[in-house]
Amino acid sequence: MKLKLHSIDYLAKRASETFQRFPSVVLIAIVGTLTSIYLVHNEKIHNIYYFINFVLCLIMAVFSTLSIYIFSEKNDILSGNIDKKKQYLLHIPVFIILTFYYFTLPFTEEQYRAITPELMRYAQYNISLVMIVMFIAFINKKKSLGIWNFNYKLAERFSFAGIYSFTLFTGLSAALFSIDKLLEISIPEKSYLDLWIFIVGIFTSIFFLAGIPKDYEKLEEETFYPPYLKFFSQFVLISISLIYMFILYLYGLKIAMAWELPNGRVSALILGCASLGIFSFISLYPLQEKDENAWIKVFTKYFYILLLPLIGMLFIAINRRVSDYGITEPRYFLSIIAFWLFGISIYFIFSKIKDIKYIPISLAFISFFTAIGPWSAYNVSFNSQFSRLERILIKDKILENGKVVNQKSEKNIINTKIEKSNQEKNIENDDLYEISSILSYLNTYNKINEVNKFFDPPLKLTLHYSNPQTIMEAMNLRYVHPIRYFEPSVNSNKQISLHYSIKYQNMNYLDISGYDIFLKNNYYSKNSQEIKAKDKIFKIYIDDKFKLTLKENDVVIFEVECNDLFRKIVKKYKSNDYSLDTEDALIEFENKKGKIKIFFTSLSFTKKGSNLTLNNVQSDILMKIN
């Protein structure tokens, strides 16, 4: 058998055909790739976020224009009966919408610190666009075989594109590394990232596009089905989903007998069971019309029937969390998925057609419309959490007539001692945690300024992680970090992790008078750190007994005992505390060679019984060497 190798001419021809078929998609991919490479080499430019947003919009443009081409091909717009130029008119509304969207994105470093909700919306938009690519060519078809074959070929092509791209990158990277090490020709580190961006952005894109099926009518009649997929779906996916279902029914029986509500963690297992079952049904879909595979229809129907009680359990678990803690984005999406599973189950139980195209159609619709409007995950969650915050503050008499009682001025917040205020003594620990948790949530989702309606005068809040603590101290309350609240006691004999840092407002506090050398230290256990300052090399090391040794050019300058300070912190503060007072995190030492001041900004330990092990230290070090 003669092995046929594709020539360069053949590859160039395929690339040319792909460009002629999807010109806008290829051009957008090229522009996005070049822009990304430019960003790699110009990461400190003033207007970098303009370029980042541009790349994000180009990614959306790839999916959008690809949908246009596929829809156009399927509806004979490119068959020659209609001028090709008219087809590009469909691009105009897409580019107009993406231009408007571009200007809604954040453009400053401060805004990017609170980009979490915007990135989630962006992900939702892209999910919708990908789903549209999956079904747009078959929107008017009653049969589902075509959409199954089309998406199988897309998945197959995508998998091959990933494998080829990774192999190509690995091989070329090894070649660059060999040139660097063997031939001693310096290869910049960023060249590897450039290579990866180029391969993913251009090679992978063109390779994937070249494999998109174009004979849509043939896809409606094609009967090819890979044997491995049937084996995998029948003996792996279905088996696992049935095991999950059996466990969940046992759990349901257990809580029913104990008259308990389901645990919130059961949601993940229900979603896993449902996902595996649905994916199994989709994978086996082309085989169900054959007589020997009649069991597939039976399995599908009874799977969805058996799934309904589990969906009911899922609703109860979600309602329990929402009742206790209100709606957040994860709970909102979990609720939407539960409703979607219920709708899909009812459809496949009672529908005679059982058209699988409604799965991507419904997912595209849900993903898009839960990202916008007053009903979106972000607005509903904010309203829920803000209302909870207001109710707790009123209940604990922190708010009266819509304003904070005994508001502390901002200049008195910095360096406040960590002591229970009189106002805090009457508040339950759970409420204190709830207030802290809600404020952290609002800060993460860039809604923290809404809290200023409670303050007169308003606080000067920026997009910074210190906002929750600032707000709580302005209310005369102690901020309780959400992680710290659930940690075990430091007196526990079990091995626990301990994390400490100074108060957010004190992060820039350090009296530098009398010192002329500053070192920023980030020390990890078992390693010494080298820091260059004033043309000198300093080495810092902390041994197992917490003695800090500082050397200048391998000559010991200072040896500072930190054991008493570290153990005092562990004894005084809870297992995870992010509110260390300045004096508790500071140590000063002086000898014949000079003086040193060490300000520990962050500490991490592992503790078991009385044994304490240092994992990480971040500190600011001031020195004066005689």
**Residue 205: pLDDT above 90?**
yes
Q: Which two tokens stand for residue 175?
A: 């070649």
C-alpha 77, offset from chain centre: 40
Q: How does pLDDT run across 265-293, given as a tens digit for each residue? A: 789 999 999 999 999 999 998 888 777 77
**Residue 417: pLDDT above 60?**
no
**Residue 82: pLDDT above 60?**
no
End-to-end CA distance of the chain: 83
**Residue 368: pLDDT above 70?**
yes
**Residue 96: pLDDT above 70?**
yes
**Residue 367: pLDDT above 90?**
yes
**Residue 301: pLDDT above 50?**
yes
217 burial type by CB count under 10 A (0-12 exposed, 13-18 middle, 19+ buried)? exposed
Whether the bond into 457 is cis, omega within 30 of 0: yes
- Strands 403-404 and 517-524, by their bridges, are unpaired
Highest average pLDDT, of 13-22, 178-187, 336-345, comes from 336-345
Report the pLDDT value the prediction gives residue 77, as an integer from 0 to 100: 44
- Give, for 522, the enclosing helix (H) or strand (E): strand 517-524
Between 223 and 381, residue with greater pLDDT: 381
Between CA 557 and CA 544 the distance in angstroms is: 19
List C-alpha distances in Å: 352 to 280, 294, 301, 340, 360: 19, 15, 11, 19, 19
Average pLDDT over residues 337-362: 93
Q: How does pLDDT run across 230-252, given as a tens digit for each residue? A: 899 888 999 999 999 999 999 99
Average pLDDT over residues 486-502: 67
Q: If we measure between CA atoms, which residue out of 239, 165, 174 comes closest to residue 199?
A: 165
Q: How does pLDDT run across 429-454, given as a tens digit for each residue? A: 778 888 888 998 888 888 888 898 88
Give 381-416 as a DSSP string.
HHHHHHHHHHHHHHHTTSEETTEETTPPPGGGTTT-
Secondary structure (3-state) at 351 = coil
**Residue 483: pLDDT above 70?**
no
Which residues, at least 6 apart from 239, have a Cβ–Cβ distance to it below 8 Å? none
| pLDDT, mean over the chain | 84
Q: Determine how many CB atoms are found less than 10 A away from the CB of residue 248.
A: 22
Between CA 416 and CA 581 the distance in angstroms is: 8
**Residue 603: pLDDT above 70?**
yes
Between CA 488 and CA 490 the distance in angstroms is: 6
Task: Report the alpha-carbon angle 553-554-560, nearest 5.
Answer: 110
Highest average pLDDT, of 444-453, 487-496, 522-531, comes from 444-453
Average pLDDT over residues 425-429: 68
Between CA 98 and CA 65 the distance in angstroms is: 11
Between 370 and 477, residue with greater pLDDT: 370
Question: Measured on CA atoms in the order 305, 306, 307, 309, is the torsion positive or negative?
Answer: positive
Question: How confident is residue 132, by pLDDT bands cut at 50, 70 and 90?
Answer: very high
Report the pLDDT value the prediction gives residue 418, as an integer from 0 to 100: 45
Question: How confident is residue 542, by pLDDT bands cut at 50, 70 and 90?
Answer: confident
**Residue 223: pLDDT above 80?**
no
Share of the chain above pLDDT 90, in %: 38
Question: How confident is residue 465, by pLDDT bands cut at 50, 70 and 90?
Answer: low
HSE on the CB side for 154, CA within 13 Å?
Answer: 16
**Residue 105: pLDDT above 70?**
yes
Cα-flanking dihedrals φ and ψ of residue 403, to 5°? -125, 150
List C-alpha distances in Å: 285 to 60, 189, 461, 599: 30, 48, 55, 65
Are 546 and 553 a contacting pair, CB within 8 Å? no
Paired with 539 in beta bridges are: 530, 551
**Residue 482: pLDDT above 80?**
no
Which residues, at least 6 apart from 547, have a Cβ–Cβ distance to it below 8 Å? 559, 560, 561, 562, 563
Residue in the structure block whose two tokens are 């129907």? 301
Report the pLDDT value the prediction gives residue 280, as an integer from 0 to 100: 92
Report the pLDDT value the prediction gives residue 608, as an integer from 0 to 100: 82
List C-alpha distances in Å: 325 to 328, 387, 438, 441: 8, 11, 9, 12
- Give, for 207, the enclosing helix (H) or strand (E): helix 205-210
**Residue 16: pLDDT above 50?**
yes
HSE on the CB side for 422, CA within 13 Å?
Answer: 2
Which residues, at least 6 apart from 174, have a Cβ–Cβ distance to it below 8 Å? none
Highest average pLDDT, of 184-198, 296-310, 334-348, comes from 334-348
Average pLDDT over residues 391-414: 79
Question: How confident is residue 364, by pLDDT bands cut at 50, 70 and 90?
Answer: very high
**Residue 78: pLDDT above 50?**
no
Question: How confident is residue 329, by pLDDT bands cut at 50, 70 and 90?
Answer: very high
Question: How confident is residue 335, by pLDDT bands cut at 50, 70 and 90?
Answer: very high
Question: How confident is residue 2, by pLDDT bands cut at 50, 70 and 90?
Answer: very low
Question: How confident is residue 415, by pLDDT bands cut at 50, 70 and 90?
Answer: very low
Between CA 133 and CA 4 the distance in angstroms is: 33
Question: How confident is residue 586, by pLDDT bands cut at 50, 70 and 90?
Answer: confident
Q: The pTM is what?
A: 0.80
Which residues, at least 6 apart from 77, have a Cβ–Cβ distance to it below 8 Å? 86, 87
Q: If we measure between CA atoms, which residue out of 338, 337, 382 comes closest to residue 363?
A: 337
Cα-flanking dihedrals φ and ψ of residue 354, to 5°? 55, 60
Give the total residue count for the chain: 626
The answer to which of 52-61, 181-190, 512-521, 591-600 has the lowest mean pLDDT is 512-521
Paired with 617 in beta bridges are: 523, 603
Between CA 152 and CA 219 the distance in angstroms is: 11
Report the pLDDT value the prediction gives residue 13, as an integer from 0 to 100: 84
- Please state at what angle helix 266-284 crosses helix 329-350, rounded to 10 degrees: 40
C-alpha 355, offset from chain centre: 33
